[in-house]
Every structure is written in C-alpha cells, then in structure tokens.
Amino acid sequence: MHDTNAHRAAQTYPPLTASAVLVNPVGLHARPSVKLTQCAKGFSAKIEIALAAEGPWTDAKSPVKVMRVKAPQGATLHFRIAGPDGEAALAAMLALVHDGFGEA
C-alpha cells in the first residue's frame, strides 16, 4: 500500500500500542530490521516503532530507518499501529519480537 493511503487509513482508526523486549542476542541489527520491515509491509496499517513510549517514532516499513534505531538486546521496542488491519499487524510484530526474529 502506498504511504499516502496508509496515512489516510491510519487517520480513521485509533492507534494500538504495545511493547516487547528484544531477546535476540544482537538486538535490532540488519537481519532483524529487514524481517521486521518485510512483515510490516504485509499490512496496510501505519506501523511505527520507538525505544520509548513517547517516541521518537520510526516508520517500521523503512529498513534504513529501522536499522537506525540500533536497539540492543534487552531494549524495549514500542509499537504504535493504526489501520484496518492494525490488530493483526500488532500481533504479528509482537510475535516476531518475542520469537527473537528467528535468531534466539
């Protein structure tokens, strides 16, 4: 979905928020960042991540922006998601983190 459409979709849905602790040994490095963005791109919802509940927020559909977060193992990754498939997107993001991106 194009970012403009995702932005419009997000405006009509209240944001869902949740957080999860990064358990994989090297945190949010290149490989997990790509897995996260690939998963996020499968949803029309606007998906953002942050290292603090108040932000700053990063577009989870951008691999470069996600890699810049540089979250280490043990960091809490916060999610803010809004859109028609927001609940499914949030569940998928949390499952990915809890699973250690398949690395833990």
Residues serving a catalytic function are: 29
Under DSSP, is residue 48 helix (H, G, I), strand (E, B) or coil? strand
79 with 59: CB under 8 angstroms?
Answer: no
28 with 69: CB under 8 angstroms?
Answer: yes
Which token pair is 53?
């509940």
Q: Tell me the residue ranges of DSSP E strands in the chain.
A: 16-21, 46-50, 58-59, 76-82
